Each structure stands twice: as C-alpha cells, then as structure tokens.
Amino acid sequence: MKVLGIETSCDETGIAVYDSDAGLLADGLYSQVDIHAKYGGVIPELASRDHIRKTLPLVKQVLAQAGIDQSELDAIAYTSGPGLVGALLVGASIGRALAMGLGIPAIGVHHMEGHLLAPMLEPDPPSFPFVALLVSGGHTQLVRVDGIGKYEMLGESLDDAAGEAFDKVGKMLGLPYPGGPHVAKLALQGESGRFEFPRPMTNRPGLDFSFSGLKTFVRNTIANHTADNGLEEQTAADIAKAFEEAVVGTMAIKCRRAMEHTGLETLIIAGGVSANVQLREVLESTMAKINGRLYYAQFKFCTDNGAMIAYTGCQRLLAGESVDLGIHVQPRWSLETLSAI
Ligand code: KG4
Ligand code: ZN
C-alpha cells in the first residue's frame, strides 16, 4: 500500500510517500522558519497561508522524487490534530480533495502518534511494548505504549512543554526562533558547573514535569549577570549549558522512574527535542545502566515531517480502520482517546 502523508499542523509543510512493502519512497519539507522568525514565534494566519502556497507543489515534487504517478497512490494520510486549526484545515482539505479526485481513502492522523511512531521508520525499529518520551514544542509526555493506539499516559508537563521552554530561553538569550537548536548549539561552548539550575519535580514521586520554575530561574540568572554592555558571550553559553543540563537531567530521572514503574526495558524518544544530542547521550547511558535500550528517529524525522504521518496512516488503514468522506480537524486531541489497532 502506497500512502501520501501530508503534515501541516504548525510551521512546516511536510510531504512523504510511504510504501508498506518498500518502506519510505520519498519525503520533502518546507520550513516556514524565515517567515515567523521576525515575530519571534509562529503567526497562525501566516502559517495557514503559506501551507496553501506550498502543499501542492511539494506533493508534486515528492511524487516525482518517489518516481510514481499520483494514480499509483492507495491512500492519503493528513494530520488532523493537535495543532493550529487553520494550518490543519489546509492539509485536511487538500488531502481530502486529492483523495476524492483519485477515488481513494483519506485518513486523519494524530500528530503525536505520528511522532511516537517515527522511530519505526529506522532500519532497526523498536518493538512493543515500550515507554515513549514525547518531547515537542507543544507536548512533554511519558507514555506506556503496548501497540498502536494502546497508550497509557504516565506523566506530562503541568505547564510549558520542553520545546517551549527551550524556545523561551532562546528568546531570553537573544537567539533566533525557534530557540531549541540554537540553545543546544550555544551550550556546546558552555562550561559545566558554573551555574546549577534546579531539576523541577524530581524530589517528589510521580512522572509529571514542570518547566516554568526553571524558566524563571534562567530569567533571574540572566538579569543578575547582565551589565550595561549586555550579557557576556561566555556567560550566555554557560547559562545555556546549565539549562540544557537541567532539562536533560530531569528527563533522565523521570525516564528511569518510568522504566522502573512499568518494568519495561525499551525507551523511545520522539518529537523535536529528541533531536537534542545531549538528551540522546544521557538517555543512552541511563538505559545502558539498567540493561535497557534507547531508540529514536533520524534527525529529520524528530521534528515535524510527512513521513511519520504517511507511516501512521498506512498502519491504521492496513489494520482496517474505516474512514468517511469528512474533513476532520481537532486542534486539541488527547492521545489516550485513540482507538487501538
Ligand atoms: O516536534 P516539533 O517539530 O513540533 C511540534 O510538534 O511542536 O518540535 C519543535 C520543538 C521546538 O520547540 C524546537 O525548539 C525543539 O523542538 N527542538 C529542539 C532541538 N531541535 C528542535 N530542542 C532542543 N534541542 C534541539 N536540538
Ligand atoms: Zn510535532
């Protein structure tokens, strides 16, 4: 089965073709970062308008890359939520219209389920059951995964998502949007140990997260070290380092706790923040200590992409999930409400 995936939930237009026999045939991404960077965050209306401009040309490009004609597609999968409603509607409408024109089914896919299954696209994929740490710009969740659609929420952020915290700290340090990758790059120049930031909610039981206190701690540290001529470059790098260490350290403690709690030995990390090299390294060693194993997607499939949507839609259609002719979007949508396959 060949499935075209369309991702338009936020500020990236991602398109891909996944074949259940041959694997991923092609993928393409258009990032709107340059459009939103000057505002320091995503402007929903501009995002929707740009998805309208980019989706169809990118579909054509990816089909050509895959070496197939649109008539060879068996289904279309589009992101139906969670995300920005206008942006979601663009992908959903185009996906549904294309499917109707081609006489094939169109399936709406949960964006976070897409992230969660992205490591399945790798040559050595994890097998169920496992614990998933989902860390994106909008979500920080620890989930027990017993199969596709079999999700039990173990813990989540009570305030900011991990990616959001990275982005806000990036802004405080005067780095471009989105801050996450820039904070990580600056942290490489930072000296460990100059600043010690708190690891929120680790000294009490439970698997929930909170990053707003850490954010305030960063803001105060920056204020205390900002002189008339601004913040010294090395100090900014040391703060980035301490912040990254605090986030990663907190996640390592919670992940270890989740492995103990579930008795499982496989951990996957997914979503934009799983591209963070420090997080990968620390969790690799955490899992090695308990004779477990860590899995993650290649860098380009950690952040938003069409491949994870094509893959997820394909799995659900192969399992016989029924679809109707509606255009479905759900800006807020809990992972736990999905049906098991
Ligand atoms: O999954 P994603 O592309 O979009 C959402 O579904 O939200 O995640 C984007 C988030 C942004 O907050 C971005 O700053 C963060 O992932 N991110 C990173 C890194 N790369 C992306 N955060 C920390 N380190 C990175 N290397
Ligand atoms: Zn995402």
Determine the distance separating the centroid of ligand 2 and the alpha carbon of 54, expressed in angstroms.
18
What residue type is assigned to position 56 of the chain?
Answer: L
CB-based contacts of 336: which residues, under 8 Å, 6+ apart?
151, 152, 153
pLDDT confidence of residue 22: 98
Helix axis angle for 277-289 and 179-187, nearest 10°, is 70
**Contact status, residue 149 vs residue 336, Cβ threshold 8 Å:** no
Helix axis angle for 233-262 and 277-289, nearest 10°, is 40
**Contact status, residue 33 vs residue 43, Cβ threshold 8 Å:** no
Which residues, chain by chain, have CB under 5 Å from ion ligand 2?
Answer: 136, 304
> Which ligand 1 atom is at minimum distance from the Cα of 178?
14
> Which ligand 1 atom is at minimum distance from the Cα of 139?
7
With 0-12 CB in 10 A as exposed, 13-18 as middle and 19+ as buried, what is 179? buried
**Contact status, residue 133 vs residue 127, Cβ threshold 8 Å:** no
What percentage of the chain's residues is helix, strand, coil (to nearest 5)?
Answer: 45, 20, 35
**Ligand 1 atom 13 nearest Cα:** 180
Show pLDDT as tens, one digit a residue, over the chain (341 residues): 999 999 999 999 999 999 999 999 999 999 999 999 999 999 999 999 999 999 999 999 999 999 999 999 999 999 999 999 999 999 999 999 999 999 999 999 999 999 999 999 999 999 999 999 999 999 999 999 999 999 999 999 999 999 999 999 999 999 999 999 999 999 999 999 999 999 999 998 999 999 999 999 999 999 999 999 999 999 999 999 999 999 999 999 999 999 999 999 999 999 999 999 999 999 999 999 999 999 999 999 999 999 999 999 999 999 999 999 999 999 999 999 999 99
Of 108, 110, 130, 106, nearest to 119 by C-alpha is 130
Compute the distance between CA of residue 267 and CA of residue 284 in angstroms, rounded to an integer.
10
Who lines ligand 1 at CB under 6 A?
Answer: 10, 115, 136-138, 163, 166-167, 178-181, 184, 271-273, 275-276, 303-304
pLDDT confidence of residue 153: 98
pLDDT confidence of residue 332: 97
**Contact status, residue 12 vs residue 30, Cβ threshold 8 Å:** yes
Of 98, 65, 147, nearest to 315 by C-alpha is 147
Cα dihedral angle (193, 196, 200, 205), rounded to 10 degrees? 70
Element of type H or E holding 280: helix 277-289
pLDDT confidence of residue 207: 98
**Contact status, residue 218 vs residue 226, Cβ threshold 8 Å:** no
pLDDT confidence of residue 77: 98
Q: What size, in residues, is the chain? A: 341
pLDDT confidence of residue 82: 98
pLDDT confidence of residue 335: 96
Compute the distance between CA of residue 231 and CA of residue 305 in angstroms, rounded to an integer.
36
Substitution site in 111, 250, 303, 312 for ligand 1 pocket (most atoms within 8 Å of beta carbon): 303
